[in-house]
Amino acid sequence: MATTWVVDSNCFIHMGSMAQDNLIEDLRKSIPEGIFVTPGVHNEVRTVRFQRWKNKPNLLDKMKPILTTIAVDDDQIKGLASQIGERAAPQDVDLSLMVLASKLSREGRDVTLVTDDFKMTTTSQKVNLGFNTCPPSTFLQRLSETGPNACKSRFRSLSRRTRAAEMRYAISRVNEYDIQAKLTWMVDSLIENKPQIKPTEPAQEKSSEQKLIRALRKFLLGGEPKKSHMGKLGSLPQICLPVSELDSYLTDISNNNAVVVDKAYEIGIEKVSSVLERVGLGLAPLDEERAEIAHRAMAGHMYRMESCLAMLAKMNGDMMVARLHLSRALHYATLVDDVNAEMLATNQLGLLALVRNKWNRAADLFETADRQAQTTKNPRLNYVVCAGMARFLDGDEDLAGKHLVTAQSLVSEDIRKAGDELFNLGKTLLAMDESGLAIEVLDEAMECAIDCNDENLTENLAEYLILANNALTDSESEQYVGLRKYLDDINTIDQSSTTKFDDKINEIADQVELISQPLDSSGDWVEASEIFPSTAKFSVLRQLSMGPDETLVVAQHSELGIIGFWLPTSEHQVSAGQNIIIKGTKVKVANPPDNLRSQHNISSLVAVEDSDKIVFSADIDL
């Protein structure tokens, strides 16, 4: 497993004073995932310059592309300081690095914290934080042993000079504390965990196992692995073959423009149960090693299936079952080579927690997704924004403010890309019946679209803002007043853009008022086609129980506004994101009572004579 490096300020200071101008390229080649730091490190080295480079450029400016900066909650820093003991604890920046290293270690990484502060080593061992430490000289020596040949001599030279500086400093403090333990640690760090020139036997076995896993995975995806690998796999390909049936199911779902959610979920559960039973019976007589190869090879199929079932369960209104499927998806994601799988599954769990008002849980999940996105160099704005919203709603305004600063930086880097990302997030929130959150995010996306003069994005956003504003209830509007002020600072637009933005928002308000007008009503039963076209598709916002015998489904149409459909109780189980099409039956239109109009913005109530003529479906994007 590759080492994940968390690096403290002194290491950067050493590199700034002694490194040549090829350092950045050497580091990029030797540590593809980059170096992890916390914001405090930026503050401590913001004035450091590369002394041996032409014009002595600022170190941070040059190193930013290879740095992954992750904020750490102040409460976690205080908690670690309390655990260690205030008098013995390192400084706050050092503590933040220790918290970060511990977090990354708990994610299953092999983490080494690079520091020449021996106190960080002793205190981390005291509370068993789960990571290794080494001084900067050993870090550079390790890179000379594991990096490309072209970098080796430069890293060795830099390591020797850094070690000399470390020794001089340690010796200069001989009258202040006992340096023997620190010198022993510095020497031991060069010896312990030293990479082997030849792979050990277990490593060779692991490599062989990985080849068999890849071969079996290729076979299950319809490819043709090497015959030698197939021979070693023996009966595993045929035992695991049923899992490919899940991909057929997922293909059918994604190609179907109108999935009937409850039936699709029922078929999916039956399918996955059948597959697991057949595979399980085949694997039962085999040993543990063969079974592990099979499970890892099938993990991708199971991850995709559980993610799909979670989506269907959520659209069916069963949030707890959706959470169970997403938790399973995250479990399978840990066994998949796809580096994005864990990030996507964690984000989906975060969105589910957000909908359930589990703000703290949601924030933790979004922050984990953000760390994974930084590691894999994926877009991270949506995770940062969601984490900030969740922390703000949970009352942690300090940490929410840190996320806001990060979001501002990401938006300024590419405002057009930021507009697209925020648009997608807003659509997702609207589909989850979170109109209040969706409006705030879509507003910021609109600012980005206007700022970069993207007319197409502006018009698409206007359409969704009309829908979101029309769906907004009074309670949601009051709940998110403070959040609106918080999110307003994500992007700052100039005066000319402000005028365009205000004009567009006024247009949207006029459209919202227009589609909030009630449908024509005579109080009689009429053909549904007389009220709305047979192809009219309504998007479900929510389902409400109105008593022992009746259910109200609140749905929205881009031109007809928000309609309440009265249906028999328990006849249909729907939730946000599903679609409704009604044809071939009669309907009766009435004006809603004031309480429903104010609570749900319903412009008209529609009773359906034959509820069997209602088609509930969903567009599934896998």
Residue-wise pLDDT tens digits, 166-186:
888 777 766 666 666 666 766
Strand-pairing partners, residue 37, are 69
Q: CA angle, 113 as apex, 107 and 115 as ends, to 5°?
A: 165
Q: Please state the φ and ψ torsions of residue 335, each to the nearest 5 degrees.
A: -100, 0
Distance CA 412, CA 418 (A): 8
Which residue shows structure tokens 């045929």? 238
Give the closest residue to 542 by CA, choosing from 620, 472, 466, 598: 472
Which residue shows structure tokens 């102040």? 74
pTM: 0.64
pLDDT of residue 124: 67
pLDDT of residue 178: 61
pLDDT of residue 195: 43
Q: CA angle, 469 as apex, 463 and 473 as ends, to 5°?
A: 150
Q: Within 13 A of 372's CA, how many CA atoms are on the CB side?
A: 24
pLDDT of residue 194: 47
Which residue shows structure tokens 């992954």? 68
* Domain 3-191 architecture: 3-Layer(aba) Sandwich (3.40)
pLDDT of residue 335: 81
CB 84 within 8 A of CB 127: yes
pLDDT of residue 203: 46
**Which residues in the chain land under pLDDT 70?**
1, 85-90, 124-127, 173-183, 185-207, 257-258, 337-339, 474-479, 534, 547-548, 568-573, 619-622
Pull the structure tokens for residue 25: 């390229």
Give the amino acid at 242. Answer: P
Pull the structure tokens for residue 67: 């740095």
How buried is 319 (Cβ within 10 angstroms: 0-12 exposed, 13-18 middle, 19+ buried)? middle
Q: Are strands 579-582 and 538-545 parallel, antiparallel or unpaired?
A: antiparallel
Distance CA 583, CA 505 (A): 35
pLDDT of residue 201: 46
Pull the structure tokens for residue 240: 């695991």
Q: Which residues contact 313 (CB under 8 A, 6 or more apart)?
A: 265, 319, 321, 322, 325
CB neighbourhood size of 546 (10 A): 13
Q: Are strands 579-582 and 550-557 parallel, antiparallel or unpaired?
A: unpaired
pLDDT of residue 498: 79
Helix/strand/coil for 380: coil
pLDDT of residue 477: 64
The DSSP 8-state label assigned to residue 113 in this structure reads E
Q: Are strands 110-114 and 132-134 parallel, antiparallel or unpaired?
A: parallel
Pull the structure tokens for residue 190: 């060069």
Domain 526-617: CATH class, spelled out: mainly beta
Range list of H helices, 288-358: 288-315, 319-333, 341-355
Burial 47-77 (b: 16+ CB within 10 A, else e): ebbbeebeeeeebbebbeebbbbbbbbeebb
Find how far residue 205's CA is from the centre of its chain: 34
Distance CA 111, CA 103 (A): 10
How buried is 356 (Cβ within 10 angstroms: 0-12 exposed, 13-18 middle, 19+ buried)? middle
The DSSP 8-state label assigned to residue 129 in this structure reads -
Distance CA 139, CA 14 (A): 12
Same fold flag, 3-191 and 526-617: no
Distance CA 159, CA 171 (A): 18
Q: Which residues contact 38 (CB under 8 A, 6 or more apart)?
A: 69, 70, 71, 72, 93, 96, 97, 100
Q: Which residues contact 191 (CB under 8 A, 6 or more apart)?
A: none
CB 590 within 8 A of CB 569: no
Helix/strand/coil for 517: coil
Q: Please provide the size of the chain in residues.
A: 622
Sketch the domain layout of the chain as residue ranges.
3-191, 210-224+231-338, 526-617
pLDDT of residue 529: 84
pLDDT of residue 612: 78
